[in-house]
Amino acid sequence: MIPPTPKGKDMNIYELYKTNTEKEQKGLPVKFGDATVYIATSNLTGNPKMAKMQAEYIERASKRKGVDSKPEDLKEKMLDLYAECVVTGWENVRDENGKEIPYSKENVLKIFKDLPHFLDAVVAFSSDFTNYREKAIEDVVKN
């Protein structure tokens, strides 16, 4: 992906592509209504925990001769990866009755299954490296 650059502003390749490792791994706060969800990158070079889990899954599947290669198995594994490695925390997440839902991997999985468009939003945010850039475009333009 080639990120857009501000009109009339030259940016070097480092300003365009250098990301903040801490932001990528710990996650950034993203507002969803009143809730704040911390989202780490799903980019394997920026999220070593996800890369390791994915490699382990592939290794296990290859030893089992594709036993886990059915679409529903792959979907479950993807949900598990995102719940374990991408959503790193949350605040003020509430159920339909207004009761606060504590952050846990199990609760993230439940919400992913109940609200697939929320999962889509997490996937979209986490896969856009520009969210995790070291220097935001706005900061570059100011200088």
pLDDT tens-digit readout, 57-93: 878 777 766 555 666 777 888 999 999 999 999 999 9
Note the Cα 99 to chain centre separation in Å.
Answer: 25
pLDDT of residue 29: 95
- Identify the residue with better confidence: 67 or 130: 130
Which residues have a Cβ under 8 Å from the Cβ of 68 and sit 6 or more positions away?
57, 60, 61, 74, 77
Please tell me the predicted confidence (pLDDT) of residue 71.
Answer: 67
CB 89 within 8 A of CB 83: no
Tell me if 126 sits within 8 A of 39, measured CB to CB.
Answer: yes
Q: Is the pLDDT of residue 54 over 80?
A: yes
Find out whether 106 and 80 touch, Cβ atoms under 8 Å: no
